[in-house]
Amino acid sequence: MQLTGRPQIRYSAAFVVFVLGVFLYVMARSLSGGWSGFEANFYERKTLVAAYNRIRLQMGDRVFPQVVVGRDGWLLFNSDGNLDSYQNSNLLTNRLETIHRQIVLLDRYFKARGITLIVVVAPNKETIYSNKVPSEIQKLGDESRLDLLLQMFSESDPPIVIDLRKPLQEARADAQVYYKTDTHWNAYGAYVAYREILIRASQVYPDLQLLGLDQFGLKETTPVTLDLARLLGGDFPQESMFLVQPKFDSNTYFYRIPPYSNISISTSDLSQRKLVIYHDSFGDASLNAYLKYSFKEAIYVRNAVSEKGFASTAWVDTVEPDVVVIEIAERSMVYLDYLLSKLLRGKDTLHLLP
């Protein structure tokens, strides 16, 4: 018995030494920045978090700090009030009334300058794919913030705000229009938004050319880790993206000014009209890739909602566009008052009041 026990003792001792060695090594690496930065500098923290979340997923856990796993493995954003927006809680009616007044006033101001204003609300993924939301997450009311805002416009008001919900719900019958592991629409969903914008703008400018989806090739990439999957801390699950590629020839260019800034510009020989668009990440998610072909010159101003970093009308004054588009995600639409107040700041609008 003693002979068989000695190897077991040696193996046990070696295992303990190994574990203690790994622990001391990790602690030493983690404390290199001092106790104050211990949590942020914890050695291989991302790897450990990813492994932990992977195990939780495999065990059937569905609720994570910023992500909820819905039906059929669809990932849903659980931050920035996204699910509150889906549930129609905290409608903020007074704030919506302010936004309505600001939109009407800005529309009148732009119209006096010969500019057409279009406001686009990009629906939450949960609005279009409500069948992917867990049954435990119930709506608390029948009307959404977007419903209330649209009701505030009278029949005499011009159609300023585009409601993309029905077109996207119709389009999903033919193709998936949002990513399964990302909060944004894909190139198919972005095309629907582009189409509705061009239809509205062409009511004022009939020369604007609406390009058909069949005029583009949507190239599928190798699977990558998209935004909601990244919030789980690892490289799982993965999903293919779609890149917009034209099937026609054009002298169209798109670049940032300066590089890596939040301002981009495009030029194209397919149109004579000019565009300024204030957009969030939904604009980056393929929408701008379509718009650049339908305007001679376009300025894309990226808004950081979390920082209230909305731009002024400086680009409108410089470019003198035919169309101004304001695009914002449904979950963030109550922040429109920050943008609109900046666009209206310093403008003589008293004569435009009814």
DSSP output for 222-247: PPB--HHHHTTTSS-S-B--EEEEES
Structural domain range at position 348: 73-352
Is residue 68 situated within a structural domain?
Answer: no
State the pLDDT at residue 46.
62
Beta-carbon contacts of residue 78 (< 8 Å; ≥ 6 apart): 63, 64, 65, 66, 67, 68
Main-chain dihedrals φ then ψ at residue 287, nearest 5 degrees: -60, -50
State the pLDDT at residue 187.
98
Q: Is the domain of 32 the same as that of 80? A: no
Long-range CB pairs of 198-204, under 8 A, 24+ apart, other chains included: 198/294, 200/118, 200/159, 200/162, 201/116, 201/118, 201/273, 201/322, 201/323, 204/116, 204/322, 204/323
Q: Which helix (H) or strand (E) holds 333?
A: none
Q: Is the domain of 17 the same as that of 144? A: no
Three-class secondary structure of residue 77 per DSSP: strand
Is residue 86 situated within a structural domain?
Answer: yes
State the pLDDT at residue 342.
86
Q: Is the domain of 21 the same as that of 106? A: no
Q: Is the domain of 20 the same as that of 83? A: no
Is residue 13 situated within a structural domain?
Answer: yes
This prediction has a pTM of 0.84
Is residue 222 situated within a structural domain?
Answer: yes
State the pLDDT at residue 1.
41
Half-sphere exposure of 101 (CA within 13 A, CB side): 10
Give me the residue label for tokens 């101001």.
109
Structure tokens at 152: 């505030």
Q: Is the domain of 105 the same as that of 212? A: yes
Say whether the peptide bond before residue 246 is cis (omega within 30 degrees of 0).
no
Main-chain dihedrals φ then ψ at residue 246, nearest 5 degrees: -70, 150
Structure tokens at 123: 């629906």
Main-chain dihedrals φ then ψ at residue 114, nearest 5 degrees: 80, 25
Is residue 347 situated within a structural domain?
Answer: yes
Is residue 188 situated within a structural domain?
Answer: yes
Q: Is the domain of 94 the same as that of 211? A: yes
Give the residue ranges of the chain where pLDDT is below 70: 1-12, 14-16, 18-19, 21-54, 58-60, 156, 260, 304-311, 348-354
Cα separation, 282 vs 12, in Å, equals 56
Give me the residue label for tokens 């492994």.
51
Is residue 74 within 8 Å of residue 129, measured between CB atoms? yes
State the pLDDT at residue 306.
42
Domain total for the chain?
A: 2
Q: What residues are paired with 219 via a beta bridge?
A: 243
Q: How many CB atoms lie within 10 A of CB 283?
A: 27
Is residue 194 situated within a structural domain?
Answer: yes
Q: Is the domain of 226 the same as that of 279? A: yes
Choose among 290, 80, 332: nearest CA to 189.
Answer: 290
Q: Is the dihedral of CA 126, 118, 301, 351 positive or negative?
A: negative
State the pLDDT at residue 11.
61
Cα separation, 167 vs 126, in Å, equals 15
Q: Is the domain of 81 the same as that of 38? A: no
Q: Is the domain of 107 the same as that of 18? A: no
Q: Is the domain of 236 the same as that of 299? A: yes
Q: Is the domain of 38 the same as that of 150? A: no
Is residue 154 situated within a structural domain?
Answer: yes
Main-chain dihedrals φ then ψ at residue 219, nearest 5 degrees: -80, 125
State the pLDDT at residue 19.
54
Q: Is the domain of 35 the same as that of 179? A: no
Q: Which helix (H) or strand (E) holds 122?
A: strand 116-122
